[in-house]
Structure 1
Amino acid sequence: MEPFQNTNQPDWDWWSRLWPTPGATLRALGIDRGDALAEVGCGNGYFALPAARVVDPATVHAVDLDRALLDELDELAALHRIENLETYHADARDMADVLPEPVDVVLNANTFHGVDDVAAFVTSAYDALAPDGEFVVVNWHDAAREDTRIHGAARGPPTDLRLSPDATERIVTDAAAFQSVETVELPPYHYAVRFEKETRA
Structure 2
Amino acid sequence: MRKMPHEAHKFDVAKRKKLDDPERVRLLTPRQTLLELGYREGASFADIGCGTGLFTIPAAEISGAGRIYAVDVSPEMLREVSEKSSARGLNNIETVHSSGYDFRLADLTADFILICAVLHEIDDKPRFLGEALRICGQGGKIAVIEFNESDAGCGPPPDMRLPAGQVKELLKGVGFTGIEETPVGAAFYAVTGVR
Please say whether Structure 1 and Structure 2 have the same fold, judged by a TM-score greater than 0.5.
Answer: yes
- 1:112 counterpart (119, 133, 137): 119
| Separation (CA, whole Å) in 1 of partners of 2:70 and 2:158 | 28
**Residues 158 and 39 of structure 1, relative CA distance in 2, 3 Å threshold:** same
* Residues 112-135 of structure 1, C-alpha deviations (whole Å, 9 max, x = no match): 111112111111001001111111
Query: Structure 2 stretches of 5 or more lacking a match?
Result: 1-6
Residue 62 (1) aligns with residue 51 (2)? no
Letter in 2 for 1:17: R
**Residues 103 and 4 of structure 1, relative CA distance in 2, 3 Å threshold:** farther
Letter in 1 for 2:130: T
- Write out aligned runs for 1:28-39 (5 A): 28-39=36-47
| Separation (CA, whole Å) in 2 of partners of 1:100 and 1:194 | 20
| Paired residues of 1:141 and 1:190 also in contact (CA < 8 A) | yes
In percent, how many aligned pairs have the same letter? 27
| Residue 136 (structure 1) aligns with | 143
| Separation (CA, whole Å) in 2 of partners of 1:15 and 1:73 | 17
Backbone CA RMSD of aligned residues = 1.9
Residue 7 (1) aligns with residue 11 (2)? yes
| Separation (CA, whole Å) in 2 of partners of 1:190 and 1:16 | 12
| Separation (CA, whole Å) in 2 of partners of 1:109 and 1:4 | 19
Shift of 1:4: 10
Shift of 1:50: 0.6
Residue 49 (1) aligns with residue 53 (2)? no
| Separation (CA, whole Å) in 1 of partners of 2:120 and 2:53 | 19
Shift of 1:92: 4.1
| Paired residues of 1:180 and 1:193 also in contact (CA < 8 A) | no
| Residue 152 (structure 1) aligns with | none
| Residue 122 (structure 1) aligns with | 129
| Residue 191 (structure 1) aligns with | 189
* Residues 128-187 of structure 1, C-alpha deviations (whole Å, 9 max, x = no match): 0111111110011111x3xx12xxxxx20111111221111012222x111143211112
TM (normalized to structure 1)? 0.85
| Residue 26 (structure 1) aligns with | 34
Query: Structure 1 stretches of 5 or more lacking a match?
Result: 150-154
DSSP 3-state at the match of 1:91: coil
| Separation (CA, whole Å) in 1 of partners of 2:51 and 2:9 | 13
Letter in 2 for 1:136: A
**Residues 117 and 4 of structure 1, relative CA distance in 2, 3 Å threshold:** farther
DSSP 3-state at the match of 2:101: helix
| Residue 159 (structure 1) aligns with | 158
